[in-house]
Structure 1
Amino acid sequence: MITTQRTLMRKLSEIDREGFYEMDSDPEVHKYIFKQPINSLEEAEEGIRFIQSQYKKYGTGRLAVVDRNSNEFLGWCGIKFIEGPWNNVSDFYELGYRFTQKHWGKGYATETASAILDYAFANLPTDVIYAITDPENSGSRHVLEKLGFVYHGLFDLDGSSTTWYILTKESWVNRANKR
């Protein structure tokens, strides 16, 4: 469990299915992620089970982000282990986040990703975290750059042009020391 000023992050569970469905059934949420929104609560449950399998297999995965006061599901954020290869890199950790549309623009992605990165660099066996996003997703790119990720070009992921970002532990620690 990881907390921030406004949120609590915990493993996804079946209690998140309605919120997960609200988020992942929204075509706007999926605008930059393969344009495949889900169509049922059963698909939401499948998505949650897939993420839960990552916890078991890799010891890490996306976490539910809930409001600390209301316990409302806001979205998810977390570190996923990618066996790859993506952009000629295999066996690496990737930061990701996704929120329900009504919570966009409120700083939740930056707030939760910052806490996740603190956790990841302190607890995972890595000195580098990667991130990807659609080149047209200016909001996500802004979050990554605000966190200190460095743009490293484009690559093809499953037929889609994708931006590649890298954040080193050294640069994260240096940024933290300046805060």
Structure 2
Amino acid sequence: MYTPTLNTRRLILRKFNENDLEAFYDIFSDKEVNHFLPWFPLKNLDEAKSFYQERYASIYQKKQRYAYAICLKENNTPIGYINIDLDESRDLGYGLKKEYWHQGIISEAVKAIIQQAQKEGLNYLTATHDIKNIHSGHVMKKSGMHYCYSYKEHWMPKNIPVIFRMYQISLDGKKRIYQKYWNQYEHFIEENI
């Protein structure tokens, strides 16, 4: 089963569906929510439908296991998203409507998705954050991820230089560091992270 529904104390993690389009638009159109993400905020419901089709509906047809809407149990309406890419990076990404920031919701969702990934045999996960997005870094640390290195990338499509911090968690007990960004970009190790 792909993208199985997950339940936590406060949350339901489930697939997005077309009935979620307005909530989906609210998440992906907000400038603050999408400031540190690799796309521009959506401008209208038509863009939201296309984005949903491209980034979620099409993935649900493949063997992608982790592309979730984050919903509160009280109403099952999406307030954010959490995904793991199943390429070699095993990159964990997430976003949340700003009225729900600083309530531990993303940390709760990350914990659930890490447990599911480990249960299904993934051996590690990575996550990156813009150094200006310190709250995302706190989520990564709180979830048990460890800082590995930083790298500088000219980020498209926003066409800006960004310094990212790369974090990783081993799910199989083996020590390894994902090297692609290290090999591809100017990189360095920061002290006291």
Please give the range of the TM-score, normalised by the shorter of the 2 chains: 0.7 to 0.9
Who is 1:163 aligned against? Answer: 165
Contact map agreement 1:51 1:61 (CA 8 A) in 2: no
Unaligned runs of 5+ in 1: 83-90, 172-179
Alpha-carbon distance in 1 for matches of 2:17, 2:49:
9
- For 1:30 and 1:144, locate their aligned partners in 2 and report how far apart those are by CA, in whole Å: 18
Match of 2:60 in 1: 55
**C-alpha deviations, 1:70-103, integer Å up to 9, x for none?**
2222111132223xxxxxxxx2311111111111
Structure that is richer in helix per residue: 1
- Structure 1 residue 48, shift from structure 2 partner: 1.6
Aligned to 1:147: 143
* Alignment equivalent of 1:21, drawn from 10, 14, 25: 25
How many residues were matched structurally? 162
Contact 1:54 1:61 in 2 (8 A): no
Task: Give the alignment partner of residue 132 of structure 1, picking from 128, 137, 140.
Answer: 128
CA–CA distance in 2 between the matches of 1:51 and 1:61? 10
In structure 2, the residue matched to 1:41 is 45
Poorly superposed stretches of 4+, deviation over 6 Å: none
Question: Normalising by structure 1, what TM-score?
Answer: 0.83
- Residues 155, 57 of structure 1: CA spacing in aligned structure 2 closer, same or farther, 3 A cutoff? farther
C-alpha separation in 1, matches of 2:86 and 2:44: 27
Q: Which amino acid aligns with 1:152?
A: C
The sequence identity of aligned pairs, in percent, is 27
Equivalent residue letter for 2:103: K
TM-score by length of 2: 0.77
Aligned ranges 1:76-115 → 2 under 5 Å = 76-82=81-87, 91-115=88-112
Displacement after TM superposition at 1:109 (Å): 0.3
Gaps of 5+ in 2: 156-161, 174-193
The alignment's C-alpha RMSD in Å is 1.7
SS at 2:90's partner residue?
strand
The alignment partner of 1:81 has SS state of coil
Q: 1:119 aligns to what SS in structure 2?
A: helix
